[in-house]
């Protein structure tokens, strides 16, 4: 096995912070697609998107537990935490960027690319050269600004490799890797997703279990349809919408044979892709509504930061808050942008830094 790229606790903490950025970066696109659906339509697509959004919150929480366990501090209010969309994720692929847009074939294709099972063919391929212009990259391999991981799965494998290396190094030196305050751990009673439980992290075994749950829920186990808890992986939840049919036990990955499901591609609001505040005239109702949403989303991230840094009981409220944003989102989505025929407004997720505890 090649030497790990993560050889210090500080590097491990940076990787885990990047993992939190990665998990969060999918939430605005998933919520935007979810609430772009006309009320009372597309129930199958709505359910799939909602379940996946909830489980991305679980993944964010699992990474926070690992970061806390090694003495790091999760901070979702940092100026660089939210990407500027379209954004490339640190998964190594060069063929797509993630955007905030309505539920459509293009957005579904992007979601499948985010979650797709990919394993590098060999050790040398785990890192790939990647150069993009004009689009924000969330993170790079530490010490190699032009390198990206082949896949999200490989990114998490590198973190696990670093954990194992540092645990061995610390043990040999008579030191501890897992020095974080146990009171910062999110326990199962503080979060319910319906698909997987929070893993409190206290040692190497629980840290690796938390990271593997993230990978398995996203892409499946070794490309299989179901994760270890017999729940459909995100990739295959989205594939159902593409195929127009549910998976059932015994199905092959590319051949669902369950009951049919209907997708109404036109039953969505025609949102402006990657809308920004600059798209709404200053002083207009849309501009005011966009500012109000951004303030509410900043409050949501501040609440999560507090939950992850010593007030875990707040996470119960945080999960509910994510879906309470619906009213503010739809206040924008239901309204056309003046001067842009056929295009509706959308939340912009442009946040000013928020001081925790202020």
Q: What 3 state SS string does 153-170 have?
A: HHHHHHHHHHHHHHHHHH
For residue 323, being part of any structural domain is answered with no
For residue 4, being part of any structural domain is answered with no
For residue 279, being part of any structural domain is answered with no
**Contact by Cβ (8 Å): 198, 58:** yes
Q: What tokens were used for 58?
A: 């679980």
Virtual CA dihedral for 296, 298, 304, 310, nearest 10 degrees?
A: -120
Q: Kindly report the CA angle at 236 between 230 and 228, in degrees rounded to 5?
A: 25
Number of independent structural domains in the chain: 1
**Contact by Cβ (8 Å): 238, 312:** no
State phi, psi for 147 to the nearest 5 degrees: -110, 145
How far is the C-alpha of 23 from the C-alpha of 336, rounded, in Å? 31
Domain that holds residue 116: 9-270
For residue 189, being part of any structural domain is answered with yes
For residue 102, being part of any structural domain is answered with yes
The pTM of this model reads: 0.89
pLDDT tens digit at each of 358 positions of the chain: 456 689 999 999 999 998 999 899 999 999 999 999 999 999 999 999 999 998 999 999 999 999 999 999 999 999 888 888 998 875 555 678 899 999 999 999 999 988 877 655 455 545 554 544 434 444 444 445 555 676 777 888 889 999 999 999 999 999 999 999 999 999 999 886 656 789 999 999 999 999 998 888 876 555 567 766 677 888 899 999 999 999 988 888 888 999 999 899 999 999 999 999 999 999 999 999 999 999 999 999 999 999 999 999 999 888 788 888 999 999 999 999 998 889 999 999 998 644 444 3
Q: What tokens were used for 123?
A: 């050790």
For residue 135, being part of any structural domain is answered with yes
Q: Is 136 helix (H, G, I), strand (E, B) or coil?
A: strand
C-alpha dihedral sign at 223, 229, 232, 235: negative
For residue 309, being part of any structural domain is answered with no
How far is the C-alpha of 169 from the C-alpha of 81, rounded, in Å? 30
Here the CATH number for the domain that contains residue 205 is 1.20.1260.10
How far is the C-alpha of 188 from the C-alpha of 334, rounded, in Å? 37
Q: 222: which residues sit within 8 A by CB, 6+ positions away?
A: 117
Q: 314: which residues sit within 8 A by CB, 6+ positions away?
A: 303, 304, 306, 307
For residue 307, being part of any structural domain is answered with no
């Amino acid at each position: 096995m090649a030497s790990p790229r993560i050889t210090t606790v500080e590097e491990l903490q940076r990787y885990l912070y990047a993992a939190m950025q990665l998990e969060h970066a999918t939430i605005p696109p998933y919520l935007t697609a979810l609430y772009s659906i006309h009320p009372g339509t597309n129930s199958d697509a709505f359910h799939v998107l909602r379940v996946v959004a909830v489980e991305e919150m679980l993944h964010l929480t699992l990474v926070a537990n690992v970061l806390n366990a090694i003495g790091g501090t999760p901070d979702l209010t940092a100026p660089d935490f939210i990407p500027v969309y379209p954004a490339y994720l640190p998964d190594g692929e060069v063929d797509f960027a993630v955007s905030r847009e309505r539920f459509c074939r293009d957005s579904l294709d992007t979601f499948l690319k985010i979650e797709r099972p990919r394993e590098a063919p060999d050790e040398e391929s785990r890192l790939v050269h990647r150069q993009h212009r004009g689009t924000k990259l969330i993170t790079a391999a530490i010490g190699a600004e032009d390198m990206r991981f082949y896949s999200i799965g490989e990114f998490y494998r590198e973190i696990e490799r670093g954990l194992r290396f540092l645990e061995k190094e610390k043990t040999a030196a008579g030191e501890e890797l897992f020095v974080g305050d146990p009171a910062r751990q999110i326990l199962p009673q503080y979060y319910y997703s319906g698909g997987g439980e929070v893993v409190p992290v206290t040692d190497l075994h629980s840290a690796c279990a938390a990271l593997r749950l993230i990978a398995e829920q996203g892409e499946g186990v070794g490309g299989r349809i179901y994760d270890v808890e017999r729940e459909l992986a995100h990739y295959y939840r989205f594939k159902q919408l593409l195929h127009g049919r549910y998976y059932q036990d015994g199905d092959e990955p590319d051949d669902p044979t369950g009951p049919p499901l209907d997708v109404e591609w036109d039953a969505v609001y025609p949102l402006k892709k990657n809308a920004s505040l600059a798209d709404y005239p200053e002083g207009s109702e849309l501009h005011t509504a966009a500012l109000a949403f951004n303030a509410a989303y900043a409050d949501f991230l501040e609440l999560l930061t507090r939950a992850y840094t010593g007030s875990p009981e707040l996470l119960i409220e945080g999960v509910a808050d994510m879906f309470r944003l619906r009213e503010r989102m739809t206040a924008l989505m239901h309204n056309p942008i003046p001067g842009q025929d056929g295009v509706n407004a959308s939340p912009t997720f442009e946040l000013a830094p928020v001081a925790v505890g202020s």
